[in-house]
Structure 1
């Protein structure tokens, strides 16, 4: 399936190459992932999309999880030259359409947002997990 935007941006349902995955993440300010980690993670995701301008990959997004109880949106990344052009919205709409098609009742969908971006994700129904009721946590393996 392909989703298109007026400025010739389009979304393809595909797994990004390891090279593009790492490069787009880094350019967008996300953390570095090793080639080994990327190879394992990319093949084990539930759903991936790549945003293109012409033939060039310029953004990506993925859904990971167990496909039943838990879904997590990860790797929302757009090259800086293409940010603020609606590409992130195209990516999120594709990911959310997939989740709405495949997530059974009671499924839990989560994501970790960078500071300053919760308003963007609120458009898709996400709410902040804030103390004292909830606390987001993470552990990064060095």
Structure 2
């Protein structure tokens, strides 16, 4: 029998948590995350998927993952995406692939929240290496 309670999770029921990473100069990572698929939550052995929210004025620290690739799908807002040595103005509907080891981060310099789906190619325990 399929365990729907383990396989299906809703952002409104799970709720958001504040990002908890620290940058190279002691600055706090900013934004909210709600994990929807992971090893612990869903039994996934190959990916982690979350709903991210970056509020106006917040900055998700530039960092990289030496052991995992990542993607963003922008649902709402127009964040400034820091990707390698480039900055890109994203818009709703953009899918952004971040290869393993690539420096990346987000800045919400707009007036509305940025919502995005975030996926990582490991179910848990990937490394977050701050680059700022």
**TM-score higher than 0.5:** no
Structure having the larger proportion of residues in helix = 1
Q: TM-score, normalised by structure 2?
A: 0.30
Structure having the larger proportion of residues in strand = 2
The one of the two structures with greater contact order (alpha-carbon pairs below 8 A, sep at least 6) is 2
Q: TM-score, normalised by structure 1?
A: 0.28
